[in-house]
Amino acid sequence: MSNLLQFPLGWDDPQFDRVLRAGTAYLAAYQDSRYAFLPLLHERVERHARCFDDNLKQLMRHVDRIIVAIKSNDLSELVQEIDPNDDPEDIAQYLEVAQDAVGEIAAKLNDQLGQLGTALVQITAIPPYDPSVETTRYQRELDKLAADRQGCERELAARGEALAGLDEAIKVLEAAKVESTFSGLLPTTGQLKAAADMIAAGGVSVEAVQSALKRIGEIIGAAMEGMRYAALLEQRRGLQKNHDELQVQLTAMARDRTRIETQRQHLEAYADLITSREEWQAGIKRIAVQLKPVWDRLAASSIDDVQALKKVNELIYALKAYKKKMKADYTAGL
């Protein structure tokens, strides 16, 4: 349409999906509590989501009002009804009706332009969140967890090795029947030699028992001679408990690492929401920039002849198509 060439190139394409995507992204982030681990960020995302949603609903209400106004003021019908051979007064009445119709449509369009401006003000009033401090803190926590995990794994391996060595040594003492032979005490070297024949009857040498006692002493760090056998077993249970506690710590560290890593990834992904916010602002501005010249033309229209009516009707027809495209994009996104 030649009368539209003065408008920005592509003015009839609202690219409404930019606005819709931003609203969807923020609403999803809010509804799945993606940032609940940082209450301030969660609240900021919620405010954005609600602002986007509220303004989208208002925008679509204005779209519907404009479409209804265009349909109820059918200029195409007026164009067809006017006969150049009609009485000039009759034609003037038709043109007056058309002028009023254009004024009503222009008023509805002006309302929408005002709403678009308000939407931009409202979203600008909600500052984006800066996650850099938390991102750095989480990375430090991950680094510390990695170092702690290495230390815990080394300690666990040492405890496991000690337990295995202690169990092997206790098996030797059990085979030699040390507990019953020495009345519940660990024997001295002299006592072992004196009971060599009894020990040998169990298929164990005195040297093997001595080696086992030495190994036990190295593991638990205490003198063996005269220690109660029950105390040795208690030492073994303590070592097992310590081993199990280390295993629990490792499990907790793995759980913490998963949690913190997930949170850090969410914070990194927040940059996508910032981009969506910018896309939303750009999309709203684009629509306003596209519609403002249309409103200017409608507001300045003086329908003093049939040719002027035809030209403004072409413009309104294009405006209707523009609004229908916005509505179609909106409906497709539901």
Domain ranges of the chain: 2-127+270-333, 147-258
User: Reduced to 3 DSSP states, what percent helix, strand and coil does the chain have, rounded to the nearest 5?
Assistant: 80, 0, 20
pLDDT at 9: 52
Q: What b/e sequence results for 274-301 when a residue is b if at least 16 CB atoms lie within 10 Å of its CB, and e otherwise?
A: eebbebbbebbebbbebbbebbebbeeb
Instruction: Give 45-67 as a DSSP string.
Output: HHHHHHHHHHHHHHHHHHHHHHH
In 3D space, the residue among 291, 156, 165, 264 whose CA is nearest the CA of residue 217 turns out to be 165
- Residues 106-130 have pLDDT tens digits of 999 999 999 999 999 999 999 999 9
Q: How far apart are CA 172 and CA 195, in angstroms?
A: 15
Length reported for the chain? 334
pLDDT at 3: 43
Q: What is the mean pLDDT of each run of 10 residues along the chain (334 residues)?
A: 48 85 96 96 97 97 96 88 82 91 96 97 95 93 96 96 95 92 90 88 88 92 82 94 96 96 95 96 95 94 91 92 92 78
pLDDT at 2: 39
pLDDT at 5: 38
pLDDT at 201: 79
Please check whether residue 195 is in contact with residue 187, taking contact to mean a CB–CB distance below 8 angstroms. yes
pLDDT at 77: 87
pLDDT at 83: 79
